[in-house]
Structure 1
Amino acid sequence: METKGSNGNILQDGDAVVVIKDLKVKRFPGEIKRGTLVKNIRLTDDPGEIEGKVESSVMVLLKTVFVKKR
């Protein structure tokens, strides 16, 4: 299965993505603001979700409909 971002671009392990909407995420203080860069993503078993580090320390699980490939 292919994992695609909001624009339909195929995402791969190690890609960098940009968040396209302010998001509240569990286990993350505050919000992830629109325009935040998430580097070095990891794909999960679910093609609709990716993992990535935000602010270089917190691992978050993001829905692919809220990110676009950089």
Structure 2
Amino acid sequence: METSNVKGSNGNTLNEGDSVSLIKSLKVKGSTTTLKQGTTIKKIRLTDNDEEVDCKVDGMSVVLKTCFLKKK
């Protein structure tokens, strides 16, 4: 299996199942929800794109850019 090149905002390598936190408040497209800065997200899933991860937040499945994530 290939090694992961997925990196968070601080340059740390992100792996499947890691916990991360948001470094910036983000609006969710198609929803009135805003994800607050500092929100912890558990069990991220890597995608085919090295700049995005898939995760669940408050029961919603969302795709987040890695530049807004910091490894816990």
TM-score (norm 1): 0.91
Give distance in 2, aligned partners of 1:69 and 1:24.
Answer: 20
Query: What residue identity is the alignment partner of 1:18?
Result: S
Long gaps (5+) in structure 2: none
Q: What fraction of aligned residue pairs are identical, expressed as a percent? A: 51
> Post-superposition, which runs of at least 4 consecutive aligned residues in structure 1 deviate over 6 A?
none
Task: Tell whether 2:33 aligns with 1:30.
Answer: yes
Q: Which has the higher strand share?
A: 1
Query: Do 1:18 and 1:38's aligned partners in 2 also have CA atoms closer than 8 Å?
Result: yes
Larger Rg, first or second structure (1 or 2): 2
Residue 24 (structure 2) aligns with: 21
Structure 1, unmatched stretches of 5+, are none
CA RMSD of superposed structures (Å): 1.1
